[in-house]
Amino acid sequence: MKRVAMVVCIFSTLMFLGFTMVGPVLADKIKVGVVLPLTGKLARFGEIENKSFLMAVDEINAAGGVNGKKIDLIIEDTTGKPDVGRSAIEKLISRDKVIVVGGGYSSSMTWATIAVAQQRKIPFLVNTGSADRITEQGWKYIFRLNPPVSEYPKAFASFLEEVASDVKTVAILHEDSLFGQSGSKKFVKKCKRMGLKVVMKEGYEASAIDFKPLLVKVKARNPDLVYMISYIMDVSLLMRQSKELNFNPKMFFGGTSGFTLPEFQKNAGFASDYVFSATLWTPSVPYPGAKEYYDKFVAKYDSPTEYHGAEAYACMYVIADALKRAKTLTREGVRDALATTDMMTVFGPVKFISYGKKTQQNKLPTFLVQWINGRLETVWPKDVSTHKYVYPVPMWDQR
Enumerate residues 6+ apart whose C-beta is below 8 A from 198: 169, 170, 171, 172, 188, 191, 192
Residues 234 and 380 in one domain: yes
Residue 181 and residue 246 in one domain: yes
Phi and psi angles of residue 240, each rounded to the nearest 5 degrees, phi first: -60, -40
* Cα–Cα nearest to 320, from 106, 99, 114, 129: 99
Domain range for 217: 151-279+366-398
Question: What are 349's strand-pairing partners?
Answer: 344
Name the CA dihedral angle for 144, 149, 151, 155, rounded to a multiple of 10 degrees.
120
Considering the domain architecture, whether residues 156 and 141 belong to the same structural domain is answered as: no
Please list the pLDDT of the chain residue by residue as tens digits (399 residues): 445 444 444 444 444 444 444 444 446 899 999 999 999 988 989 999 999 999 999 999 999 999 999 999 999 999 999 999 999 999 999 999 999 999 999 999 999 999 999 999 999 999 999 999 999 999 999 999 999 988 888 899 999 999 999 999 999 999 888 778 888 998 999 899 999 999 999 999 877 889 999 999 999 999 999 999 887 778 899 999 999 999 999 999 997 767 888 889 999 999 999 999 989 999 989 899 999 999 999 999 999 999 999 999 999 999 999 999 999 999 999 999 999 999 999 999 999 999 999 999 999 999 999 999 999 999 999 989 999 999 999 999 988
Task: Encode burial over 201-211: b for 16+ CB neighbours within 10 A, e otherwise.
Answer: bebbeeeeeeb
Same domain? For 210 and 319 the reply is: no
Total domains present in the chain: 2
Burial class from Cβ neighbours inside 10 Å (0-12, 13-18, 19+) for residue 320 reads buried
Sheet holding 124-126, edge to edge: 70-77, 29-36, 100-103, 124-126, 142-144, 358-361, 353-355
Phi/psi-derived region of residue 337, left when phi > 0, alpha when psi is between -120 and 50, beta in every other case:
alpha
Within a 10 A sphere around the Cβ of 117, how many other Cβ atoms?
25
Shared domain for 110 and 164, answered yes or no, is no
**C-alpha span between 381 and 156 (Å, rounded):** 9
6 and 127 within one domain:
yes
Q: Which amino acid is at 167?
A: V
Kindly state whether residues 12 and 45 are assigned to the same domain.
yes
The rounded distance, in Å, linking the Cα atoms of 172 and 187 is 8
Element (H, E) at 19: helix 2-20
Residues 158 and 178 in one domain: yes
Q: What is the DSSP string of 294-353?
A: HHHHHHHHSS---HHHHHHHHHHHHHHHHHHH-SSSSHHHHHHHHHT--EEETTEEE--E
Q: Is the peptide bond before 394 cis (omega within 30 degrees of 0)?
A: no
pTM of the model: 0.83
Provide the greatest CA pair distance for the chain: 94
Type of residue at 177: S
Rounded to 5°, the CA angle 396-397-399 comes to: 70
Does 180 share its domain with 69? no
Q: Which residues contact 333 (CB under 8 A, 6 or more apart)?
A: 326, 327
Domain match, 328 and 346 both: yes
Is the domain of 246 the same as that of 384?
yes
Q: What is the CATH number of the domain that holds 331?
A: 3.40.50.2300
Are residue 107 and residue 179 in the same domain, yes or no? no
